Structure 1
Amino acid sequence: MASTLSLCVMCPVCLSDFNDPVSLPCEHVFCRQCITSYLESHEGAHKCPECRQNFTRQDLKGNRVLRNVVDVLQQQKLKTRQQTAKNAEEMLCSEHMEPLKLFCENDQRLVCLICKEGEKHRGHSFKPVKEAMEISEKVVREALRFILHDNKQMGDMILSQMLEITTSKERAKRLEEKMHVQFNKMHDFLRKKEEEMVRQLQKQASSAEVSMRQNASFLSKLQINGNNQESILESGLQMSQPERFSEWWSEKGFPLVDTITLSENKDIKSALPTKFKSRLDGTRVISDHFTLGPYETDLPLIVWRDMLGSVKQDLSDTSTIDKDLKLTIKKESHLQSQGEDYFAKFQKFHNGYKDNYVENIHPGQVYWEVDVGAEAGWEHGLTVRYYPKEKNVSVWQTLFSKCFENISLSVKNDRLYAVRGGEETPIVTQIIPSRVGVYVDSEKRQVVFCNADNMSLLHTVWCGDK
């Protein structure tokens, strides 16, 4: 019971009985001197060594009840020591039933005068009990002083460890907050990029749909006109009387037939016209000619590279991203057959692009980037050769033929032009990009030029749609 109570009145800092105990708002109790030393040795906000709750010097409250309990317990300990001393005065040798008046220094035990003369203690050194007690008390006091010093250091270490725990938690919290900010920034970038790409897709798809609907409306009108012509001609063929047929022919049949007759066959004096011009001449089905360039096939990789631009702004002075980091994408398909078109590009060597060195672009999608004005022969890097494929002709025969069309970008007088064959088309842009990406989709017969600095589309060419 006394041992359990002793633990309850022990200061968690000095590990001794409370001396003038004081309570904190969190109800933890410390010696006044221990908690005062803690306050004086730590700056800033003060936290309870036990629970880390904040407190101030004004929060220290003397705990009179606990102080009384400690006093009572110490009085009991004093009585116990006095009773022990009294019992020691009355202690008798269990062997000779004589008072234990001496202390054997060799065996470190009490002995009587008869024991001293006995064989067991021959040659040993002895001290009177009181004198031996004084010597041992000095040793005990030194040991106690040493342990108290160790305990104080241990208490300081405990406080320091608790502070380290608090510091670690606070640093982890700051890092977590910083991490949330950084990830939120990336999430915002990706969300805005997604919205931007969706808007661009919807705009291009809507524009393509308008063109296709207008064409469908035009074809519908042609069909309605054709149905009316069909009805008029069928109505004439249903007439059996020559007079009525001739009247119909004069009023309806001849004007209608005359409108669909080819001009070189309109001499009806010699014979009736037999060749007609089709309403399908000059009409076609418009394909969904809109594109997002490399975003269509490699969106994650392109967006990742886009995001590097925003990441660069948050890098420390000692952290860098290679400014020459270029993307190269190649997705080959094995669906190409004889009779389809071919594309080629100029080969790039360690010292740039060179004349007359071209390589076949395999079926599929290919993307590469060129630094404008910085790479040797950069104009060749922005040039794609388009070969309309002939049947029964090999790839090498095609590449060495002169039947090709150059599709490229050029810079003249600080303006950007798209060049196809000998035709130049000015591109409206505020600045000349420092890096241009070239995207070729041979399956769609599509060549796309991009501003690689921000991955915006510059110009698109649909080969075969001259």
Structure 2
Amino acid sequence: MDSRLSKQIQCSVCLGDFVDPVSLLCDHTFCRQCIGNHSQSSRGLRLCPECRRPYTMWDLRSNRVLRNMVDAVREHLSEQQSLRDRGASAAGTDRTTTGPVLESEMLLCPEHDERLKLFCETDQQLVCLICRDGDNHQGHKFKPVDEAAGPKKYTLALTTHSRISGVKLTPVEFIRFINCSFLLFEVKSTLSKYMNQQFPDRNVISDCHDPYLRVSSDGRSVTRTAKKGLFYRQRDYRPLARTHKTFQSGQHYWEVDVGEKRDWSVGVDEGCISNTNKDIRLQLKHSQGYCVKENGTESDKELSVKPRRIGLYLDCDRRQVCFYNADDMTLLHSSVYASSTPYSLSLSPGVYLQDRNADPLTVCWN
């Protein structure tokens, strides 16, 4: 049963557990590094390692459900192995009389420096002969250590066996859960393809015609290019891409996959509507760390974890902007604004960093 569970979380390229799994449009999933290495080694057309369908790096989508499942399965298998080890240890002590007894004979009383040869049934502790005759144990019942250990070893073995028997049923439920999760992922992928076919105007990011940015064909990803401009502008230049639409009423929510990028920015601004530099954004700067920028003013932001996906909530009616760690919906920052002008989602893939920050920013949910 454990082997069946392990195969469900196994990458077909490296044959190890998934690490940062990503899925292609054909719904096959691989470790991000594995498919990246495969893409670099491919000459010309990139083909899926399993079905040989062509793909591009724009097609990669983080599989958050599978990543959480991998962690859950690992924890489950680890707990099972731990219970088995305890059961084997308890069973072994039933077949021998030397293990724990010898250990107890080697233990010394911290008060009298004598061997702990007796077990006080009243206080449920090991004692030496001097402790037995002392005032603290007057009227107590005692047994030799080996005699007292027998029933307790038997009780421990029964308890451990009972726990292991109870766990034996859970892998079947785990397999069902995993199969259902994969089915839901397939349904989501199918619906996403259908929506993109039926509503091609769902593209999020507009083609900003900035030579330092490249927007994907589906309008959901933006990448920093390696183009070198006048005076090497790309070193500190953080170009922005914005949504087609502006928002002035209602509530709106986006999730942006930032992955392992070293430099990025996610937020809202007034775009080209005004020159007042009104914006609210959460940023990661490679040389500074996390910071919040509000209307041109930056302030450092301490985060306890490194988020891989940012949730951005815009409440136009309350004029409030909230940033979340989308993996567990922990609130990272909240701001209010006074302007009544419409806002746009604005993204920056950050500075180029000599190809060390080349991954795209991808809008995963809108």
Q: Same fold (TM over 0.5)?
A: no
TM-score (norm 2): 0.29
TM, length-normalised to structure 1: 0.23
Larger radius of gyration: 1
Asked which structure has the greater RCO (Cα within 8 Å, sep 6+), the reply is 2
- Greater helix percent: which structure? 1
